[in-house]
Amino acid sequence: MMKMYHNPVLLHESVKGLKIIPDGTYVDVTYGGGGHSKVILQKLGPKGRLIAFDQDRDAHKNKIHDNRLKLIESNFKYLSFFCTLLSSSNEITLLIKSFS
């Protein structure tokens, strides 16, 4: 059975708090239903990047098709390894972790 993800609490307020820089590189370590990632992508410009993690295969059925997003099926404990591999600048602007 497909897993259901509820709407994240205070979604827009929490993303607003990130003060997104359009060209920044952001990491969502708990992708889930992609609610936070979707709003982050709306605020990123064409050069912005979003790296997202979810270890649960079901979450990957919610993948947003956007070439600025790289969704990784892995535990976020390997964050450092993947971000070094994927980030050309080796610089992560901000990391978001949400279990709401």
Ligand X SMILES: C[S@@+](CC[C@H](N)C(=O)[O-])C[C@H]1O[C@@H](n2cnc3c(N)ncnc32)[C@H](O)[C@@H]1O
Interface contacts to ligand X, rule CB under 6 A: 5, 8, 30, 32-36, 53-56, 59, 75-76, 98-99
Evaluate whether 96 touches 41 at the Cβ level (below 8 Å): no
The smaller minimum CB distance to ligand X, of residues 65 and 88, is found at 65
**What is the DSSP code (8-state) at residue 73?**
-
Answer positive or negative: Cα dihedral of 96, 52, 89, 13: negative
Going from the C-alpha of 24 to that of each of 40, 55, 62, 74, the distances in angstroms are: 11, 24, 23, 22
Shortest Å, Cβ 37 to ligand X: 7
- Smallest gap from Cβ 3 to ligand X, in A, equals 8
Q: Whose Cβ is closer to ligand X: residue 21's or residue 64's?
A: 64
Closer CB to ligand X, residue 4 or residue 88?
4
